Amino acid sequence: MLRRAFSAMLALVAFAGPVKAESVKTQTVTFPTGVETISGYLAAPVSVGRYPAVLVLPADAGLTDWVKDQARKLAEHGYVALALDMYRGRVAFEPELAYNLAISVPPARAFQDMEAAIHYLIALPDVEKDKVGSIGWSVGGKWSLMLAVNDPFLLASVCNYGAPPANADDIQKIRAPILGIFGADDIVISREDIETFDDALIAANKLHEFKFYRHAGHNFEDPGDRLGYREDLAGEAWNLTLTFLDEHLK
């Protein structure tokens, strides 16, 4: 895969609606993915410079305001962050629709969309092209691990309570360091599956760190989950995430 070959094609990118915060600039962007186009929410530091990039992969509900907040927070910390709209404009406000949207995305399309987003990112003049990582929550965490399996150029992958790959051959292909963040009381993602994944990564000598938060369930980092949200633990998980990304991308 030669990413730099895509730079010329990305001159066709369309921008819409810039909004600037004090230290961060944001805008909605569109770019090609196969024969379609896809959009995303781009956040970057205002200061002139070159920064590492992070692909932000939404949870089951899609590109919500909270996901955009995470992209802005990453930009405030010195990253160019692109939150990808995997559902082509659809956002779920109730669990059944969120689940149906999450399972409606074929793996091949998810990977194509993520690679298109990375090609877009590395064509930006303020991105360090060889320093790209990913982060996702729930189904986005699963996609973040999928990217680690299939993209040998990825430098860091953060999975927040996402389903892990089970295929031994897939695990062997992982090159990026992995941070896994999980709730100890999660009834969606099996702890047994995570521990099996952990054992497989150890056996394959893959660099990774897993953290289980006590008294936390699935989606504990998102305040939109009014029953499951744990503000204190979400803050701890975010600090751990920044430490991990800084270690591998800066």
| pLDDT score at 65 | 97
Supply the DSSP string of 80-138, one letter for each residue: EEEEE-TTTT---SSHHHHHHHHHHS-HHHHHHHHHHHHHHHHTSTTEEEEEEEEEEET
For the chain, list the domains and their CATH numbers.
3-249 (3.40.50.1820)
Choose among 157, 147, 159, 208: nearest CA to 183.
159
- The string of pLDDT tens digits covering residues 204-245 is 999 999 999 999 999 999 999 989 999 999 999 999 999 999
Q: In this predicted model, which residue has the larger pLDDT, 111 or 22?
A: 111
**β-strand partners of 84:** 40
pLDDT in tens, 122-138: 999 999 999 999 999 99
| DSSP type of residue 78 | T
Alpha carbons 70 and 10: distance in angstroms, whole number: 25
| Residue 149 pLDDT | 98
The pTM of this model reads 0.91
Q: Give residue 22's pLDDT band: very low, low, confident or very high (50, 70, 90).
A: confident
pLDDT bin (cut points 50, 70, 90) of residue 21 is very low
